[in-house]
Amino acid sequence: MTSSSLLLRPFSGTDSEFFATLASDERVVRFIGYGKPWNQQDIDACIVSALQHDDLNQVGASRWFVASMAGQAVGVVFSTRQENSIEIGYWVSPAHWGRGVGGTMLDQTLVMVPELFGLTTLSAGVAPGNTISAKLLTKRGFTLTVHTDQLDHYVLSPQSN
Ligand SMILES: CC(C)(COP(=O)(O)OP(=O)(O)OC[C@H]1O[C@@H](n2cnc3c(N)ncnc32)[C@H](O)[C@@H]1OP(=O)(O)O)[C@@H](O)C(=O)NCCC(=O)NCCS
Protein backbone atom coordinates (compact mmCIF):
# COMPACT_ATOMS: atom_id res chain seq x y z
CA MET A 1 0.00 0.00 0.00
CA THR A 2 1.10 3.60 -0.47
CA SER A 3 0.80 5.96 2.47
CA SER A 4 -1.28 8.37 0.39
CA SER A 5 -4.01 5.76 -0.06
CA LEU A 6 -4.79 5.76 3.66
CA LEU A 7 -6.68 8.67 5.21
CA LEU A 8 -7.27 9.40 8.89
CA ARG A 9 -10.49 11.27 9.59
CA PRO A 10 -12.31 12.10 12.82
CA PHE A 11 -14.48 9.31 14.22
CA SER A 12 -18.18 10.14 14.09
CA GLY A 13 -21.40 8.51 15.25
CA THR A 14 -21.78 6.80 11.89
CA ASP A 15 -18.55 4.85 12.60
CA SER A 16 -20.07 3.25 15.72
CA GLU A 17 -20.91 0.01 13.96
CA PHE A 18 -17.39 -0.33 12.58
CA PHE A 19 -15.92 0.20 16.05
CA ALA A 20 -18.39 -2.32 17.51
CA THR A 21 -17.36 -4.90 14.90
CA LEU A 22 -13.72 -4.52 15.90
CA ALA A 23 -14.38 -4.45 19.65
CA SER A 24 -16.41 -7.65 19.47
CA ASP A 25 -13.77 -9.49 17.40
CA GLU A 26 -11.66 -11.72 19.62
CA ARG A 27 -8.66 -11.39 17.28
CA VAL A 28 -8.65 -7.60 17.68
CA VAL A 29 -9.08 -7.49 21.46
CA ARG A 30 -6.84 -10.45 22.25
CA PHE A 31 -4.24 -8.09 23.75
CA ILE A 32 -6.63 -5.31 24.83
CA GLY A 33 -8.04 -4.96 28.34
CA TYR A 34 -9.14 -8.37 29.57
CA GLY A 35 -8.48 -9.96 26.19
CA LYS A 36 -12.13 -10.76 25.56
CA PRO A 37 -14.68 -9.37 23.10
CA TRP A 38 -16.45 -6.35 24.57
CA ASN A 39 -20.14 -6.42 25.36
CA GLN A 40 -22.51 -3.91 23.74
CA GLN A 41 -22.84 -1.90 26.95
CA ASP A 42 -19.08 -1.30 27.18
CA ILE A 43 -18.90 -0.52 23.46
CA ASP A 44 -21.70 2.05 23.73
CA ALA A 45 -20.20 3.68 26.84
CA CYS A 46 -16.83 3.99 25.15
CA ILE A 47 -18.34 5.55 22.02
CA VAL A 48 -20.38 8.06 24.05
CA SER A 49 -17.27 9.13 25.90
CA ALA A 50 -15.23 9.38 22.66
CA LEU A 51 -17.86 11.57 21.02
CA GLN A 52 -18.02 13.92 24.00
CA HIS A 53 -15.09 15.92 22.64
CA ASP A 54 -13.94 17.32 25.98
CA ASP A 55 -11.52 20.25 26.00
CA LEU A 56 -8.22 18.91 24.67
CA ASN A 57 -6.33 20.41 27.61
CA GLN A 58 -8.31 18.33 30.06
CA VAL A 59 -6.83 15.05 31.29
CA GLY A 60 -8.97 12.25 29.87
CA ALA A 61 -9.99 14.20 26.77
CA SER A 62 -9.87 11.88 23.81
CA ARG A 63 -10.19 11.99 20.07
CA TRP A 64 -10.68 8.97 17.84
CA PHE A 65 -9.97 8.65 14.15
CA VAL A 66 -11.00 6.23 11.45
CA ALA A 67 -8.46 5.10 8.89
CA SER A 68 -10.01 4.56 5.51
CA MET A 69 -8.78 3.27 2.19
CA ALA A 70 -10.80 3.90 -0.96
CA GLY A 71 -13.69 4.98 1.24
CA GLN A 72 -13.63 1.78 3.31
CA ALA A 73 -12.93 1.89 7.05
CA VAL A 74 -9.89 -0.27 7.86
CA GLY A 75 -8.86 0.84 11.35
CA VAL A 76 -9.36 3.09 14.34
CA VAL A 77 -6.85 5.30 16.15
CA PHE A 78 -7.42 6.46 19.73
CA SER A 79 -5.70 9.38 21.44
CA THR A 80 -6.26 10.43 25.04
CA ARG A 81 -4.62 13.10 27.17
CA GLN A 82 -3.01 11.63 30.29
CA GLU A 83 -1.18 13.58 33.02
CA ASN A 84 2.20 13.45 31.30
CA SER A 85 1.53 12.27 27.78
CA ILE A 86 -0.96 11.68 25.04
CA GLU A 87 -1.71 7.97 25.01
CA ILE A 88 -2.37 6.43 21.63
CA GLY A 89 -3.90 3.15 20.53
CA TYR A 90 -4.65 1.62 17.14
CA TRP A 91 -6.75 -1.25 15.86
CA VAL A 92 -6.72 -2.58 12.33
CA SER A 93 -9.48 -4.71 10.88
CA PRO A 94 -8.07 -8.28 10.70
CA ALA A 95 -8.88 -8.52 6.97
CA HIS A 96 -6.17 -5.88 6.44
CA TRP A 97 -3.47 -7.11 8.81
CA GLY A 98 0.07 -7.57 7.55
CA ARG A 99 -0.17 -5.08 4.68
CA GLY A 100 1.37 -2.03 6.30
CA VAL A 101 -1.92 -0.46 7.38
CA GLY A 102 -0.95 -0.38 11.08
CA GLY A 103 2.43 1.18 10.29
CA THR A 104 0.93 3.81 8.01
CA MET A 105 -1.78 4.63 10.54
CA LEU A 106 0.87 5.07 13.21
CA ASP A 107 3.05 7.25 10.97
CA GLN A 108 0.11 9.59 10.36
CA THR A 109 -0.86 9.52 14.05
CA LEU A 110 2.64 10.67 15.04
CA VAL A 111 2.19 13.77 12.89
CA MET A 112 -1.45 14.48 13.61
CA VAL A 113 -1.68 13.95 17.37
CA PRO A 114 1.05 16.46 18.34
CA GLU A 115 -0.54 18.96 15.95
CA LEU A 116 -3.88 18.45 17.64
CA PHE A 117 -2.91 18.30 21.32
CA GLY A 118 0.30 20.33 21.13
CA LEU A 119 3.81 18.95 21.11
CA THR A 120 4.07 16.45 23.90
CA THR A 121 5.26 13.01 24.89
CA LEU A 122 3.33 10.19 23.26
CA SER A 123 2.72 6.93 25.08
CA ALA A 124 1.24 3.53 24.41
CA GLY A 125 0.40 0.58 26.65
CA VAL A 126 1.11 -2.78 25.04
CA ALA A 127 0.45 -6.26 26.41
CA PRO A 128 3.84 -8.04 26.58
CA GLY A 129 2.71 -10.73 24.12
CA ASN A 130 1.74 -8.18 21.48
CA THR A 131 5.07 -8.30 19.67
CA ILE A 132 3.73 -6.86 16.42
CA SER A 133 2.46 -3.74 18.18
CA ALA A 134 5.72 -3.39 20.14
CA LYS A 135 7.64 -3.64 16.87
CA LEU A 136 5.48 -0.94 15.28
CA LEU A 137 6.35 1.41 18.15
CA THR A 138 10.06 0.69 18.59
CA LYS A 139 10.61 1.01 14.83
CA ARG A 140 9.33 4.57 15.16
CA GLY A 141 11.54 5.52 18.10
CA PHE A 142 9.32 4.62 21.08
CA THR A 143 11.21 3.18 24.03
CA LEU A 144 10.04 0.77 26.68
CA THR A 145 9.99 2.59 30.02
CA VAL A 146 7.97 0.38 32.34
CA HIS A 147 7.45 -3.36 32.11
CA THR A 148 4.90 -5.33 34.10
CA ASP A 149 3.43 -8.78 33.52
CA GLN A 150 0.22 -7.12 32.29
CA LEU A 151 1.38 -4.11 30.33
CA ASP A 152 4.49 -2.58 28.80
CA HIS A 153 4.59 1.20 28.70
CA TYR A 154 6.26 2.80 25.66
CA VAL A 155 7.01 6.50 25.22
CA LEU A 156 8.21 8.81 22.49
CA SER A 157 9.41 12.17 23.72
CA PRO A 158 8.89 15.31 21.57
CA GLN A 159 12.58 15.79 20.71
CA SER A 160 12.68 12.29 19.19
CA ASN A 161 9.40 12.86 17.32
C1 LIG B 1 -1.05 -4.49 15.87
C2 LIG B 1 -1.78 -4.16 14.58
C3 LIG B 1 -2.31 -2.72 14.66
C4 LIG B 1 -0.80 -4.28 13.42
O5 LIG B 1 -1.47 -3.88 12.23
P6 LIG B 1 -0.95 -4.33 10.79
O7 LIG B 1 -1.71 -3.55 9.80
O8 LIG B 1 -0.97 -5.80 10.66
O9 LIG B 1 0.57 -3.81 10.86
P10 LIG B 1 1.62 -3.75 9.68
O11 LIG B 1 1.12 -4.52 8.50
O12 LIG B 1 2.00 -2.33 9.50
O13 LIG B 1 2.83 -4.59 10.29
C14 LIG B 1 3.64 -4.08 11.34
C15 LIG B 1 4.91 -4.90 11.40
O16 LIG B 1 4.62 -6.20 11.92
C17 LIG B 1 4.96 -7.19 10.96
N18 LIG B 1 3.88 -8.18 10.95
C19 LIG B 1 2.58 -7.97 10.66
N20 LIG B 1 1.90 -9.11 10.81
C21 LIG B 1 2.79 -10.04 11.20
C22 LIG B 1 2.70 -11.42 11.52
N23 LIG B 1 1.53 -12.08 11.48
N24 LIG B 1 3.80 -12.08 11.91
C25 LIG B 1 4.99 -11.42 11.97
N26 LIG B 1 5.15 -10.12 11.68
C27 LIG B 1 4.06 -9.44 11.30
C28 LIG B 1 5.04 -6.47 9.64
O29 LIG B 1 5.93 -7.11 8.75
C30 LIG B 1 5.55 -5.13 10.05
O31 LIG B 1 6.92 -5.14 10.24
P32 LIG B 1 7.87 -4.25 9.32
O33 LIG B 1 7.49 -2.83 9.61
O34 LIG B 1 9.23 -4.57 9.78
O35 LIG B 1 7.56 -4.64 7.93
C36 LIG B 1 -2.94 -5.16 14.30
O37 LIG B 1 -2.43 -6.47 14.39
C38 LIG B 1 -4.10 -5.02 15.26
O39 LIG B 1 -5.01 -4.21 15.03
N40 LIG B 1 -4.11 -5.83 16.34
C41 LIG B 1 -5.23 -5.83 17.26
C42 LIG B 1 -5.30 -4.55 18.09
C43 LIG B 1 -4.00 -4.30 18.80
O44 LIG B 1 -3.43 -5.18 19.42
N45 LIG B 1 -3.56 -3.02 18.74
C46 LIG B 1 -2.38 -2.56 19.41
C47 LIG B 1 -2.70 -2.21 20.81
S48 LIG B 1 -1.26 -1.63 21.64
Mean pLDDT, rounded, for 85-108:
97
CA 146 to centroid of chain Cα atoms:
19
Instruction: List, in order of start, the domains of the chain with CATH numbers.
Output: 3-160 (3.40.630.30)
Report the separation in Å between the CA atom of 58 and the middle of ligand 1, taken as the mean of its atom positions: 31
Paired sense of beta strands 72-81 and 62-69, if any: antiparallel
The continuous run of DSSP H or E covering 86 comes out as strand 86-92
Query: Ligand 1 in contact with 124 (CB < 6 A)?
Result: yes
**Nearest atom (ligand 1) to Cα of 99:** 11
Mean of pLDDT over the chain: 94
In this prediction the pTM is 0.95
Give yes or no for a contact between 112 and 65, defined as CB atoms under 8 angstroms apart.
yes
CA 161 to centroid of chain Cα atoms:
17
Mean pLDDT, rounded, for 63-77:
97
- How confident is the model at residue 119, as a pLDDT? 85
Report the percentage of the chain scoring pLDDT > 70: 96
pLDDT in tens, 122-131: 999 999 999 9
Q: What residue's CA is closest to ligand 1, atom 20?
A: 98
Instruction: Judge whether residue 78 has pLDDT over 70.
Output: yes
Query: Ligand 1 in contact with 126 (CB < 6 A)?
Result: yes
